[in-house]
Amino acid sequence: MNSGASEALLARASAVIPGGVNSPVRAFRAVGGTPRFMASGKGAWLTDVDGNRYVDLICSWGPMILGHAHPDVLQAVNDAAAQGFSFGTPSQNEVALAEEIVARIEPVDQVRLVNSGTEATMSAIRLARGFTQRDVIVKFAGCYHGHVDALLASAGSGVATFALPDSAGVPRSSAGETIVLPYNDLAAVEAVFAERGQQIAAVITEAAPGNMGVVPPAAGFTEGLRRVTRDHGALLISDEVMTGFRCSRSGFYGLEGPYAAGPADLFTFGKVMGGGFPTAAFGGSREVMALLAPAGPVYQAGTLSGNPVASAAGLATLRGCTDEVYARLDAAARAIADGVSEALTAASVPHTVQWAGSMFSIFFREGPVRDYDDAKTQDVDAFRRFFHAMLERGVHLPPSSFEAWFVSAAHDDDAVSHVLAALPAAARAAATPD
């Protein structure tokens, strides 16, 4: 495939944008080569600036659950934009979107709309600290909650150590209020609470992690987190920015909950709820949310929060997420994942497939992946070869072996067949070292 126009755009972008991209994973650093600059998207397909077409298995990292340029969402956006782009005042659309979210997630009484998943998690952390009057946060290695200073931290030596920053520019003091534990290790959580429980404001966890690849919680893990946090007066924050409204009508909570020990205190949402526009939310019980300004002392604000055009896109998307849509997602994802597994098996490439609803990951290693250490043992070079072979055959995968794959309701038989036809050659490429 010709990529000359993308190469030229990357050169232009690199002069005015650090690394030539506005989010690091887009740079193809994990797989090498030139990122494709997209010109348009329709249904399950992307078209780049060179005119190449691809079946899209990124779906804007999750939001395009109905497919690109869905007519109902497009109409809602056009109608809202015709009335004005932003008012700086309350508007009807934001109320309707908030009502739709609350109706779908039973434990959530109230939500606050924000502009990004990062802002949602940052605000939820602040609210948890304000509610508990404590400072320490517990997170899990391999779980990504946005580029919040306190959460850009890696684990140190041992099972439960205070963390050091994982990014330049993050003060040690910010990361030092974060404890990083291995995911799916409830004993480690219990141990750290036994030692520091009176200091811990909250545990934040992805409902089903998708940022180290899809690593679902082990049976009883989420329930255990709820029990431990409740017993020590800490809050539990369930990050459903990625899984929310994609895994089911009620996100991953709709698949795994309700829990005997009770729901999380706070939830964060993004991606699908914005339909491709920059909007997100955090919410929880009325008791906790009452501390937010202007009702309470925990300050949070945003000029574009609840933007009427973004809210219209999100509302149209959520209303379009019917039972039939979720059934189509499941069928398309299963057909593609089974096809990948069959092709890799035929080429003798070690791999394992893991799921969270219709989200899935292909790990290029043997055996189940339970945590970040497991995920890091996969053969990233085999994935790199597989990725480029698929790209050359018109299938755009996430450009990292540590990401989830996404389908949309627009991934019809034609799109799925195109993916399946590309797999045998890509599997052989994965099996053949450079």
Contacts 24+ apart (CB under 8 A), 341-345: 342/423, 343/423, 343/424, 343/426, 343/427, 344/427, 344/430
* Contact between residue 265 and residue 287 where contact means Cβ atoms under 8 Å apart: no
Cis bond leading into 258, ω under 30°? yes
- 50 among known catalytic residues: no
For 379, residues 6+ apart whose C-beta sits below 8 A from its C-beta are 350, 364, 365
d(Cα 344, Cα 430) in Å, to the nearest integer?
Answer: 8
End-to-end CA distance of the chain: 20
Given the residues 144, 253, 259, 372, select the one marked as catalytic: 144
| 144 tagged catalytic | yes
Q: Is 372 a catalytic residue?
A: no
**Sequence-distant (≥ 6) Cβ neighbours of residue 388 within 8 angstroms:** 31, 32, 33, 429
Helices of type H across 183-277: 186-196, 221-231, 251-256
From the list 48, 271, 326, 372, the catalytic residue is: 271
Helices (H), 133-243: 172-175, 186-196, 221-231
Tell me how far apart the alpha carbons of residues 190 and 227 are, in angstroms, rounded to a whole number: 10
CA 413, CA 32: separation in Å to the nearest integer? 31
CB distance 316 to 76 below 8 Å? yes
Q: What is the sign of the dihedral through the CA atoms of 30, 36, 421 and 335?
A: positive
CB contact set of 24 (below 8 Å; sequence gap of 6+): none
Distance of CA 65 to the CA centre of its chain: 13
The torsion region of residue 146 among left (phi > 0), alpha (psi -120 to 50) and beta comes to left
Between 413-431 and 380-392, two packed helices, what is the crossing angle to 10 degrees?
Answer: 130
Nearest to 32 by CA among 377, 429, 380, 405: 380
Instruction: Please tell me which residue in 48, 56, 239, 374 is annotated as part of the active site.
Output: 239
- Residue 108, number of CB atoms within 10 A of its CB: 25
Q: Which residues contact 130 (CB under 8 A, 6 or more apart)?
A: 291, 296, 297, 298
Catalytic residues: 144, 239, 271
